Protein backbone atom coordinates (compact mmCIF):
# COMPACT_ATOMS: atom_id res chain seq x y z
CA UNK A 1 0.00 0.00 0.00
CA UNK A 2 2.92 2.35 0.72
CA UNK A 3 4.10 1.95 -2.90
CA UNK A 4 0.63 2.82 -4.21
CA UNK A 5 0.41 5.88 -1.93
CA UNK A 6 3.86 7.04 -3.08
CA UNK A 7 2.95 6.58 -6.76
CA UNK A 8 -0.33 8.46 -6.30
CA UNK A 9 1.42 11.47 -4.81
CA UNK A 10 4.39 11.40 -7.22
CA UNK A 11 2.23 11.21 -10.33
CA UNK A 12 -0.63 13.46 -9.28
CA UNK A 13 -3.40 10.96 -8.52
CA UNK A 14 -4.16 11.64 -4.84
CA UNK A 15 -2.73 13.98 -2.18
CA UNK A 16 -3.40 14.36 1.56
CA UNK A 17 -5.96 17.15 1.97
CA UNK A 18 -4.80 20.44 3.54
CA UNK A 19 -1.25 19.12 3.42
CA UNK A 20 0.39 22.56 3.81
CA UNK A 21 -1.42 22.84 7.17
CA UNK A 22 -0.38 19.39 8.33
CA UNK A 23 -3.34 17.60 6.79
CA UNK A 24 -6.76 16.60 8.12
CA UNK A 25 -7.11 12.97 9.14
CA UNK A 26 -8.37 10.63 6.40
CA UNK A 27 -9.32 13.32 3.90
CA UNK A 28 -7.76 13.40 0.46
CA UNK A 29 -7.66 15.59 -2.63
CA UNK A 30 -7.58 14.10 -6.12
CA UNK A 31 -5.01 15.48 -8.54
CA UNK A 32 -5.35 15.68 -12.32
CA UNK A 33 -4.85 11.98 -13.12
CA UNK A 34 -6.85 10.90 -10.08
CA UNK A 35 -9.80 13.01 -11.20
CA UNK A 36 -9.64 11.51 -14.70
CA UNK A 37 -9.31 7.93 -13.37
CA UNK A 38 -12.18 8.23 -10.88
CA UNK A 39 -14.36 9.94 -13.49
CA UNK A 40 -13.69 7.01 -15.83
CA UNK A 41 -14.67 4.54 -13.09
CA UNK A 42 -17.93 6.44 -12.54
CA UNK A 43 -18.54 6.71 -16.28
CA UNK A 44 -18.17 2.94 -16.67
CA UNK A 45 -20.61 2.43 -13.78
CA UNK A 46 -23.15 4.77 -15.40
CA UNK A 47 -22.64 2.99 -18.71
CA UNK A 48 -23.39 -0.37 -17.08
CA UNK A 49 -26.47 1.02 -15.34
CA UNK A 50 -28.00 3.26 -18.04
CA UNK A 51 -26.48 2.73 -21.46
CA UNK A 52 -26.41 -1.07 -21.39
CA UNK A 53 -29.88 -1.42 -19.80
CA UNK A 54 -33.32 0.13 -20.30
CA UNK A 55 -34.74 -0.52 -16.84
CA UNK A 56 -32.78 2.02 -14.77
CA UNK A 57 -33.08 5.82 -14.51
CA UNK A 58 -30.85 8.38 -12.79
CA UNK A 59 -31.34 10.89 -9.98
CA UNK A 60 -29.05 13.29 -8.13
CA UNK A 61 -30.49 14.04 -4.71
CA UNK A 62 -29.43 16.77 -2.29
CA UNK A 63 -26.73 16.21 0.32
CA UNK A 64 -28.85 18.06 2.91
CA UNK A 65 -32.24 16.40 3.44
CA UNK A 66 -35.09 16.84 5.88
CA UNK A 67 -34.00 15.50 9.30
CA UNK A 68 -37.07 13.24 9.39
CA UNK A 69 -35.47 11.25 6.56
CA UNK A 70 -32.84 10.00 9.01
CA UNK A 71 -35.42 9.26 11.68
CA UNK A 72 -37.36 7.10 9.24
CA UNK A 73 -34.26 5.31 7.96
CA UNK A 74 -33.07 4.46 11.47
CA UNK A 75 -29.83 6.40 11.18
CA UNK A 76 -30.55 8.77 14.06
CA UNK A 77 -31.19 5.93 16.46
CA UNK A 78 -29.16 3.04 15.09
CA UNK A 79 -26.27 4.46 13.03
CA UNK A 80 -23.79 4.24 15.87
CA UNK A 81 -20.53 2.54 16.72
CA UNK A 82 -19.29 1.50 20.19
CA UNK A 83 -16.45 3.91 21.01
CA UNK A 84 -13.77 3.27 23.66
CA UNK A 85 -10.90 5.59 24.57
CA UNK A 86 -7.49 4.73 25.97
CA UNK A 87 -7.16 5.98 29.53
CA UNK A 88 -3.43 5.40 29.44
CA UNK A 89 -0.62 7.19 27.65
CA UNK A 90 -1.79 7.48 24.01
CA UNK A 91 -5.46 8.56 24.59
CA UNK A 92 -6.48 7.09 21.23
CA UNK A 93 -10.06 6.14 20.42
CA UNK A 94 -11.06 2.73 19.07
CA UNK A 95 -14.14 0.85 17.95
CA UNK A 96 -14.80 -1.79 20.56
CA UNK A 97 -16.24 -4.27 18.06
CA UNK A 98 -13.12 -4.01 15.86
CA UNK A 99 -10.87 -4.66 18.86
CA UNK A 100 -12.83 -7.77 19.85
CA UNK A 101 -12.75 -9.04 16.25
CA UNK A 102 -8.96 -8.61 16.21
CA UNK A 103 -8.60 -10.51 19.49
CA UNK A 104 -10.77 -13.35 18.17
CA UNK A 105 -8.81 -13.48 14.89
CA UNK A 106 -5.61 -14.01 16.89
CA UNK A 107 -7.18 -16.89 18.82
CA UNK A 108 -7.95 -14.96 21.99
CA UNK A 109 -11.15 -14.63 23.99
CA UNK A 110 -13.24 -11.82 22.44
CA UNK A 111 -15.17 -11.44 25.70
CA UNK A 112 -12.08 -10.84 27.82
CA UNK A 113 -11.11 -7.41 29.12
CA UNK A 114 -9.65 -5.30 26.31
CA UNK A 115 -6.46 -3.25 26.47
CA UNK A 116 -5.33 -0.45 24.19
CA UNK A 117 -3.55 -2.01 21.19
CA UNK A 118 -1.29 1.07 20.92
CA UNK A 119 0.13 1.45 24.43
CA UNK A 120 -1.52 -1.34 26.46
CA UNK A 121 -3.43 1.11 28.61
CA UNK A 122 -6.83 0.63 30.20
CA UNK A 123 -9.87 1.42 28.03
CA UNK A 124 -12.95 3.40 28.97
CA UNK A 125 -16.44 1.97 29.03
CA UNK A 126 -17.92 1.90 25.51
CA UNK A 127 -20.08 4.82 24.43
CA UNK A 128 -22.40 4.87 21.44
CA UNK A 129 -21.08 7.29 18.84
CA UNK A 130 -23.34 8.52 16.01
CA UNK A 131 -21.54 8.56 12.68
CA UNK A 132 -23.51 11.39 11.06
CA UNK A 133 -22.04 14.87 10.68
CA UNK A 134 -24.39 17.46 12.16
CA UNK A 135 -24.86 21.02 10.95
CA UNK A 136 -27.53 23.73 11.04
CA UNK A 137 -29.80 25.41 8.52
CA UNK A 138 -30.50 29.07 9.27
CA UNK A 139 -28.60 32.31 9.86
CA UNK A 140 -27.77 31.57 13.52
CA UNK A 141 -26.73 28.10 14.65
CA UNK A 142 -28.64 28.30 17.95
CA UNK A 143 -31.87 29.26 16.18
CA UNK A 144 -31.46 27.12 13.07
CA UNK A 145 -32.80 23.63 12.60
CA UNK A 146 -30.44 20.69 12.93
CA UNK A 147 -29.70 18.80 9.71
CA UNK A 148 -27.16 16.15 8.76
CA UNK A 149 -24.74 15.56 5.93
CA UNK A 150 -26.10 12.41 4.33
CA UNK A 151 -24.28 9.22 5.44
CA UNK A 152 -25.45 7.39 2.29
CA UNK A 153 -27.00 8.27 -1.05
CA UNK A 154 -29.67 5.55 -0.85
CA UNK A 155 -32.24 7.53 1.13
CA UNK A 156 -32.27 10.26 -1.51
CA UNK A 157 -33.46 7.60 -3.94
CA UNK A 158 -36.19 6.25 -1.68
CA UNK A 159 -37.70 9.67 -0.96
CA UNK A 160 -37.84 10.28 -4.73
CA UNK A 161 -39.54 6.95 -5.52
CA UNK A 162 -42.93 8.60 -6.01
CA UNK A 163 -41.47 11.36 -8.22
CA UNK A 164 -39.70 8.84 -10.44
CA UNK A 165 -42.86 6.73 -10.82
CA UNK A 166 -44.63 9.87 -12.03
CA UNK A 167 -42.29 10.61 -14.94
CA UNK A 168 -40.28 7.50 -15.80
CA UNK A 169 -43.08 5.22 -17.01
CA UNK A 170 -41.35 2.25 -15.38
CA UNK A 171 -42.81 -0.66 -13.50
CA UNK A 172 -41.08 -3.19 -11.26
CA UNK A 173 -38.55 -4.52 -11.81
CA UNK A 174 -36.78 -1.21 -12.41
CA UNK A 175 -33.96 0.73 -10.79
CA UNK A 176 -32.96 4.23 -9.74
CA UNK A 177 -29.24 4.99 -9.79
CA UNK A 178 -27.19 7.74 -8.20
CA UNK A 179 -23.56 8.78 -7.77
CA UNK A 180 -22.70 11.29 -5.08
CA UNK A 181 -20.82 12.28 -1.94
CA UNK A 182 -21.59 10.82 1.47
CA UNK A 183 -20.12 11.66 4.87
CA UNK A 184 -19.45 9.51 7.94
CA UNK A 185 -17.63 10.58 11.06
CA UNK A 186 -15.69 7.33 11.21
CA UNK A 187 -13.89 6.58 14.46
CA UNK A 188 -11.10 4.60 12.83
CA UNK A 189 -10.71 5.63 9.19
CA UNK A 190 -7.53 4.73 7.40
CA UNK A 191 -5.72 2.69 4.76
CA UNK A 192 -5.44 5.57 2.31
CA UNK A 193 -8.68 6.15 0.34
CA UNK A 194 -10.16 2.80 1.44
CA UNK A 195 -12.03 4.32 4.39
CA UNK A 196 -12.42 8.09 4.64
CA UNK A 197 -14.85 10.49 6.26
CA UNK A 198 -15.87 12.01 2.93
CA UNK A 199 -16.37 9.59 0.07
CA UNK A 200 -18.28 9.05 -3.15
CA UNK A 201 -20.86 6.31 -3.60
CA UNK A 202 -22.28 4.61 -6.68
CA UNK A 203 -25.62 3.17 -5.56
CA UNK A 204 -28.60 1.72 -7.36
CA UNK A 205 -31.92 0.72 -5.80
CA UNK A 206 -33.69 -1.94 -7.84
CA UNK A 207 -37.42 -2.16 -7.07
CA UNK A 208 -38.92 -5.61 -7.62
CA UNK A 209 -42.15 -7.53 -6.91
CA UNK A 210 -41.73 -9.12 -3.45
CA UNK A 211 -41.83 -12.68 -4.82
CA UNK A 212 -38.89 -11.94 -7.16
CA UNK A 213 -36.49 -10.49 -4.58
CA UNK A 214 -34.27 -13.54 -4.21
CA UNK A 215 -33.93 -14.00 -7.98
CA UNK A 216 -32.87 -10.40 -8.50
CA UNK A 217 -30.48 -10.51 -5.55
CA UNK A 218 -28.65 -13.38 -7.24
CA UNK A 219 -28.75 -11.55 -10.57
CA UNK A 220 -27.11 -8.40 -9.23
CA UNK A 221 -24.40 -10.29 -7.34
CA UNK A 222 -23.33 -11.94 -10.60
CA UNK A 223 -23.73 -8.77 -12.64
CA UNK A 224 -21.63 -6.62 -10.35
CA UNK A 225 -18.84 -9.19 -10.05
CA UNK A 226 -18.76 -9.41 -13.86
CA UNK A 227 -18.38 -5.60 -14.10
CA UNK A 228 -15.13 -5.67 -12.13
CA UNK A 229 -13.60 -8.57 -14.05
CA UNK A 230 -14.51 -7.06 -17.42
CA UNK A 231 -12.64 -3.92 -16.41
CA UNK A 232 -9.52 -5.89 -15.63
CA UNK A 233 -9.72 -7.00 -12.00
CA UNK A 234 -8.24 -10.49 -11.67
CA UNK A 235 -10.99 -12.99 -10.80
CA UNK A 236 -8.80 -14.71 -8.19
CA UNK A 237 -8.58 -11.37 -6.35
CA UNK A 238 -12.39 -11.21 -6.01
CA UNK A 239 -14.80 -13.23 -3.94
CA UNK A 240 -18.44 -13.00 -2.89
CA UNK A 241 -19.07 -13.43 0.83
CA UNK A 242 -22.54 -13.71 2.33
CA UNK A 243 -23.16 -11.91 5.63
CA UNK A 244 -23.93 -14.00 8.68
CA UNK A 245 -27.04 -13.40 10.72
CA UNK A 246 -25.07 -11.33 13.25
CA UNK A 247 -23.71 -9.04 10.50
CA UNK A 248 -26.94 -8.10 8.75
CA UNK A 249 -28.07 -4.49 8.93
CA UNK A 250 -31.43 -3.75 10.52
CA UNK A 251 -33.04 -3.33 7.09
CA UNK A 252 -31.48 -6.35 5.36
CA UNK A 253 -32.84 -9.85 4.95
CA UNK A 254 -29.76 -10.90 2.93
CA UNK A 255 -26.50 -9.16 2.04
CA UNK A 256 -23.40 -10.32 0.22
CA UNK A 257 -20.17 -8.41 -0.20
CA UNK A 258 -17.95 -8.48 -3.24
CA UNK A 259 -14.55 -8.49 -1.57
CA UNK A 260 -11.19 -7.66 -3.11
CA UNK A 261 -7.76 -8.80 -1.97
CA UNK A 262 -6.32 -5.40 -1.08
CA UNK A 263 -2.79 -5.13 0.35
CA UNK A 264 -4.54 -4.91 3.75
CA UNK A 265 -6.26 -8.26 3.11
CA UNK A 266 -9.72 -9.27 1.91
CA UNK A 267 -12.02 -6.27 2.36
CA UNK A 268 -15.39 -5.07 1.09
CA UNK A 269 -15.44 -3.56 -2.38
CA UNK A 270 -19.21 -3.51 -2.90
CA UNK A 271 -22.28 -4.70 -1.02
CA UNK A 272 -25.40 -6.16 -2.61
CA UNK A 273 -28.29 -6.11 -0.14
CA UNK A 274 -31.87 -7.31 -0.15
CA UNK A 275 -33.43 -4.42 1.77
CA UNK A 276 -36.95 -5.83 1.59
CA UNK A 277 -39.68 -3.18 1.82
CA UNK A 278 -38.15 -1.56 4.93
CA UNK A 279 -37.21 1.82 3.43
CA UNK A 280 -40.37 2.56 1.45
CA UNK A 281 -42.54 1.40 4.36
CA UNK A 282 -40.67 3.60 6.84
CA UNK A 283 -40.78 6.70 4.66
CA UNK A 284 -44.49 6.15 3.99
CA UNK A 285 -45.08 5.92 7.75
CA UNK A 286 -43.06 9.03 8.63
CA UNK A 287 -44.16 11.21 5.69
CA UNK A 288 -47.80 10.15 5.38
CA UNK A 289 -47.32 9.57 1.62
CA UNK A 290 -48.20 6.28 -0.04
CA UNK A 291 -45.04 4.77 -1.52
CA UNK A 292 -46.36 1.77 -3.38
CA UNK A 293 -46.88 0.50 -6.89
CA UNK A 294 -50.26 -0.15 -8.49
CA UNK A 295 -50.22 -2.67 -11.31
CA UNK A 296 -52.84 -1.57 -13.86
CA UNK A 297 -53.05 -5.03 -15.42
CA UNK A 298 -53.44 -7.18 -12.32
CA UNK A 299 -55.02 -4.41 -10.19
CA UNK A 300 -52.54 -5.38 -7.50
CA UNK A 301 -51.16 -2.77 -5.12
CA UNK A 302 -47.92 -3.52 -3.28
CA UNK A 303 -44.76 -2.01 -1.76
CA UNK A 304 -41.83 -3.19 -3.89
CA UNK A 305 -38.84 -4.92 -2.33
CA UNK A 306 -35.44 -3.41 -3.02
CA UNK A 307 -32.15 -4.93 -4.14
CA UNK A 308 -29.25 -2.54 -3.61
CA UNK A 309 -25.82 -2.81 -5.25
CA UNK A 310 -23.80 -0.17 -3.35
CA UNK A 311 -20.21 0.56 -4.39
CA UNK A 312 -17.68 3.17 -3.39
CA UNK A 313 -16.11 5.13 -6.25
CA UNK A 314 -12.99 5.70 -4.14
CA UNK A 315 -12.64 2.04 -3.16
CA UNK A 316 -13.21 0.92 -6.73
CA UNK A 317 -10.56 3.40 -7.91
CA UNK A 318 -8.14 2.04 -5.30
CA UNK A 319 -8.85 -1.55 -6.35
CA UNK A 320 -8.18 -0.76 -10.01
CA UNK A 321 -4.95 1.01 -9.03
CA UNK A 322 -3.76 -1.86 -6.85
CA UNK A 323 -4.68 -4.57 -9.33
CA UNK A 324 -3.00 -2.82 -12.25
CA UNK A 325 0.20 -1.89 -10.39
CA UNK A 326 3.30 -3.80 -11.40
CA UNK A 327 7.04 -3.39 -11.14
CA UNK A 328 9.06 -5.34 -13.68
CA UNK A 329 12.50 -5.42 -15.26
CA UNK A 330 12.82 -4.42 -18.91
CA UNK A 331 16.21 -4.58 -20.60
CA UNK A 332 17.98 -4.46 -17.26
CA UNK A 333 16.01 -1.47 -15.96
CA UNK A 334 13.12 -1.36 -13.53
CA UNK A 335 9.78 -0.25 -14.94
CA UNK A 336 6.72 0.72 -12.90
CA UNK A 337 3.52 0.37 -14.87
CA UNK A 338 -0.21 0.69 -14.26
CA UNK A 339 -1.83 -1.91 -16.51
CA UNK A 340 -5.22 -0.20 -16.33
CA UNK A 341 -7.98 -1.22 -18.69
CA UNK A 342 -7.68 1.30 -21.57
CA UNK A 343 -11.20 2.58 -20.88
CA UNK A 344 -10.16 3.46 -17.31
CA UNK A 345 -6.77 4.96 -18.14
CA UNK A 346 -6.65 8.72 -17.40
CA UNK A 347 -4.82 9.37 -20.68
CA UNK A 348 -5.38 7.09 -23.68
CA UNK A 349 -2.46 8.17 -25.84
CA UNK A 350 0.66 10.30 -25.44
CA UNK A 351 2.26 12.12 -28.36
CA UNK A 352 6.04 12.34 -27.98
CA UNK A 353 8.42 14.17 -30.32
CA UNK A 354 11.72 12.25 -30.37
CA UNK A 355 13.77 15.43 -30.02
CA UNK A 356 12.98 19.11 -29.52
CA UNK A 357 14.28 20.30 -32.91
CA UNK A 358 14.05 19.79 -36.67
CA UNK A 359 10.34 20.59 -36.69
CA UNK A 360 9.42 17.46 -34.72
CA UNK A 361 7.66 19.30 -31.84
CA UNK A 362 5.54 21.26 -34.33
CA UNK A 363 4.58 18.10 -36.22
CA UNK A 364 3.81 16.34 -32.94
CA UNK A 365 1.61 19.26 -31.86
CA UNK A 366 -0.32 18.96 -35.09
CA UNK A 367 -0.96 15.23 -34.48
CA UNK A 368 -1.83 15.96 -30.84
CA UNK A 369 -4.39 18.57 -31.93
CA UNK A 370 -6.12 16.05 -34.21
CA UNK A 371 -6.15 13.18 -31.71
CA UNK A 372 -7.34 15.15 -28.67
CA UNK A 373 -10.66 15.81 -30.40
CA UNK A 374 -11.37 12.07 -30.25
CA UNK A 375 -9.42 10.72 -27.27
CA UNK A 376 -7.94 11.99 -24.00
CA UNK A 377 -4.45 12.76 -25.31
CA UNK A 378 -1.33 14.21 -23.71
CA UNK A 379 1.61 16.00 -25.32
CA UNK A 380 4.92 15.20 -23.60
CA UNK A 381 8.29 16.61 -24.67
CA UNK A 382 10.24 16.99 -21.40
CA UNK A 383 13.28 14.74 -20.89
CA UNK A 384 14.64 11.79 -22.83
CA UNK A 385 12.24 9.59 -24.77
CA UNK A 386 12.92 6.72 -22.34
CA UNK A 387 11.99 8.83 -19.33
CA UNK A 388 8.83 9.98 -21.04
CA UNK A 389 7.84 6.38 -21.79
CA UNK A 390 8.39 5.50 -18.12
CA UNK A 391 6.33 8.51 -17.00
CA UNK A 392 3.42 7.49 -19.23
CA UNK A 393 3.71 3.86 -18.06
CA UNK A 394 3.36 5.04 -14.46
CA UNK A 395 0.09 6.85 -15.14
CA UNK A 396 -1.25 3.92 -17.17
CA UNK A 397 -1.28 5.43 -20.68
CA UNK A 398 -1.91 2.45 -22.99
CA UNK A 399 -0.38 3.88 -26.20
CA UNK A 400 2.46 6.20 -27.12
CA UNK A 401 2.97 7.96 -30.46
CA UNK A 402 6.60 8.84 -31.23
CA UNK A 403 7.21 11.48 -33.87
CA UNK A 404 10.72 11.10 -35.37
CA UNK A 405 12.69 12.13 -38.44
CA UNK A 406 11.06 9.40 -40.54
CA UNK A 407 7.71 11.04 -39.76
CA UNK A 408 8.86 14.13 -41.64
CA UNK A 409 9.66 11.99 -44.68
CA UNK A 410 6.69 9.62 -45.00
CA UNK A 411 3.99 10.82 -42.52
CA UNK A 412 4.28 7.69 -40.38
CA UNK A 413 4.81 7.42 -36.61
CA UNK A 414 5.85 4.76 -34.13
CA UNK A 415 2.93 3.36 -32.13
CA UNK A 416 4.07 1.84 -28.80
CA UNK A 417 1.91 -0.52 -26.72
CA UNK A 418 2.19 -0.12 -22.93
CA UNK A 419 1.64 -3.79 -22.09
CA UNK A 420 3.47 -5.69 -24.82
CA UNK A 421 6.04 -2.92 -25.48
CA UNK A 422 5.54 -3.68 -29.18
CA UNK A 423 6.43 -0.79 -31.48
CA UNK A 424 5.05 -0.61 -35.03
CA UNK A 425 5.09 2.00 -37.77
CA UNK A 426 1.64 3.29 -38.71
CA UNK A 427 0.55 6.08 -41.05
CA UNK A 428 -0.70 9.35 -39.57
CA UNK A 429 -3.71 9.12 -41.86
CA UNK A 430 -6.26 6.96 -40.08
CA UNK A 431 -4.34 7.11 -36.75
CA UNK A 432 -7.40 8.30 -34.84
CA UNK A 433 -9.51 5.44 -36.22
CA UNK A 434 -6.78 2.97 -35.30
CA UNK A 435 -6.66 4.15 -31.68
CA UNK A 436 -10.44 4.33 -31.27
CA UNK A 437 -10.65 0.78 -32.62
CA UNK A 438 -8.07 -0.40 -30.11
CA UNK A 439 -9.94 1.35 -27.31
CA UNK A 440 -13.23 -0.31 -28.24
CA UNK A 441 -11.73 -3.76 -28.81
CA UNK A 442 -11.97 -6.45 -26.08
CA UNK A 443 -9.07 -6.18 -23.65
CA UNK A 444 -7.51 -8.78 -21.39
CA UNK A 445 -5.11 -7.93 -18.58
CA UNK A 446 -1.59 -9.28 -19.26
CA UNK A 447 -1.60 -10.42 -15.62
CA UNK A 448 -4.07 -13.12 -16.62
CA UNK A 449 -1.53 -14.63 -19.03
391 with 443, same domain: the answer is yes
The three-point CA angle 417-422-441 to 5° equals 45
Q: Residue 308 above 70 pLDDT?
A: yes
Closest CA to 416 of 428, 408, 407, 425: 425
* Own/partner pairs, 362-367, CB within 8 angstroms, 24+ separation: 363/403, 363/407, 363/408, 364/401, 364/403, 367/401, 367/403, 367/413, 367/428, 367/431
Mean pLDDT on 95-105: 81
pLDDT tens-digit series, residues 169-186: 889 999 999 999 999 987
351 with 316, same domain: the answer is no
293 with 237, same domain: the answer is yes
CATH number at residue 432: 3.40.50.800
Parallel/antiparallel/unpaired status of strands 399-403 and 349-353: parallel
Q: Could you give phi then psi for residue 135, rounded to 5 degrees?
A: -145, -170
301 with 203, same domain: the answer is yes
416 with 272, same domain: the answer is no
Burial of 190 (0-12, 13-18, 19+ CB in 10 A): exposed
Q: What is the pLDDT of residue 78?
A: 61
304 with 432, same domain: the answer is no
Q: What is the pLDDT of residue 169?
A: 84
Q: Could you give phi then psi for residue 276, rounded to 5 degrees?
A: 60, -145
Q: What is the pLDDT of residue 91?
A: 79
> Taking the model in full, what pTM does it have?
0.88
The residue with greater pLDDT, 143 or 83, is: 83
Q: Residue 212 above 90 pLDDT?
A: yes
pLDDT tens-digit series, residues 399-425: 999 999 999 999 999 999 999 999 999
Closest CA to 158 of 16, 298, 306: 306
Residue 418 lies in a domain: yes
Mean pLDDT over the full length of the chain: 91
pLDDT-derived band of residue 84, with 50, 70 and 90 as boundaries?
confident
Q: Last residue of a domain, which of 252, 287, 321? A: 321
Residue 87 lies in a domain: no
Q: Residue 449 above 80 pLDDT?
A: no
Burial of 140 (0-12, 13-18, 19+ CB in 10 A): exposed
Q: What is the pLDDT of residue 163?
A: 94
44 with 174, same domain: the answer is yes
Residue 387 lies in a domain: yes
pLDDT-derived band of residue 14, with 50, 70 and 90 as boundaries?
very high
Residue 142 lies in a domain: no
Q: What's the CA gap between 142 and 340, in Å, rounded?
A: 50
208 with 316, same domain: the answer is yes
Closest CA to 187 of 265, 82, 318, 266: 82
Mean pLDDT on 198-226: 96
424 with 299, same domain: the answer is no
Q: Which of 113-127, 153-167, 313-327 has the least mean pLDDT?
A: 113-127
The residue with greater pLDDT, 93 or 60, is: 60
Residue 332 lies in a domain: no
- The number of folded domains in the chain is 2
Tally the C-alpha atoms within 13 A of residue 296's C-alpha that lie toward its C-beta.
Answer: 3
306 with 422, same domain: the answer is no
Closest CA to 364 of 439, 433, 431, 436: 431
Residue 108 lies in a domain: no
CATH number at residue 244: 3.30.930.10
Q: What's the CA gap between 181 and 312, in Å, rounded?
A: 10
Q: What is the pLDDT of residue 142?
A: 63
Contact between 388 and 352 (Cβ < 8 Å): yes
Q: What is the pLDDT of residue 136?
A: 87
227 with 365, same domain: the answer is no
pLDDT tens-digit series, residues 235-260: 999 999 998 877 777 677 889 999 99
Q: What's the CA gap between 408 and 391, in Å, rounded?
A: 25
Q: Residue 80 above 80 pLDDT?
A: no
Q: Could you give phi then psi for residue 13, rounded to 5 degrees?
A: -90, -55
364 with 292, same domain: the answer is no
Residue 354 lies in a domain: yes
pLDDT-derived band of residue 37, with 50, 70 and 90 as boundaries?
very high
pLDDT-derived band of residue 95, with 50, 70 and 90 as boundaries?
confident
Residue 363's domain comprises: 347-448
Q: What's the CA gap between 399 and 327, in Å, rounded?
A: 18
Amino acid sequence: MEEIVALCKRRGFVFPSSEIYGGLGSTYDYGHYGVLLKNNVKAEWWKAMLQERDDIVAVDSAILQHPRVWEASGHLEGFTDPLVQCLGKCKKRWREDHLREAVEAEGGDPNAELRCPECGGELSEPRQFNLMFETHVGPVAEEGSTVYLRPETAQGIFINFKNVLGFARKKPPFGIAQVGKSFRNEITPGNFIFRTREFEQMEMEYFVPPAEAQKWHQHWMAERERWYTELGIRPDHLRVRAHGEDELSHYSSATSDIEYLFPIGWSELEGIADRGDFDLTQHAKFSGEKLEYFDQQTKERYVPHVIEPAAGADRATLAFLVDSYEVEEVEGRQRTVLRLHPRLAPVKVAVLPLVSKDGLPEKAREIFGDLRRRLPTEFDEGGSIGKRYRRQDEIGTPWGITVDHQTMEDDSVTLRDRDSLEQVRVPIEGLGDELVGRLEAPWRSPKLG
